[in-house]
Amino acid sequence: MGILAWIVLGLIAGLVAKLIVPSDTGGGCFGIIITIVIGIVGAVIGGFIGTALGWGKVDEFDARSIILAIVGAMVFLLALRALRGVR
């Protein structure tokens, strides 16, 4: 996947994950950048989870990769909340 595909995947995964797991991770003019970063980190985490469970990895722009990226972003947001002590 190219860099533009990672950015689009990150934006989609970050937006959906932030809708499912509400967080206070940034707003304002940097909100979209933080959302993209959350989605890209989530794609990496989702790739590790998918590979470990035998579901494949995040290497193409398809439905499986988007779902794995969303799951990974949700795990990332929940881990951030746990580390910050937010309920």
Read off the pLDDT of residues 67-87 as tens digits, 9 standing for 90 and up.
999 999 999 999 988 887 766
User: In the chain, how many domains are there?
Assistant: 1
What global pTM score does this model have?
Answer: 0.83
Give me the mean pLDDT over the 6-13 stretch.
88
> For 21-79, what is each residue's pLDDT tens digit?
876 655 556 678 888 888 889 988 988 888 888 887 777 778 888 899 999 999 999 99
Report residue 40: phi and psi, to 5°.
Answer: -70, -45
Range of the domain at 48: 3-84
Q: What is the largest CA-CA distance in the chain?
A: 39
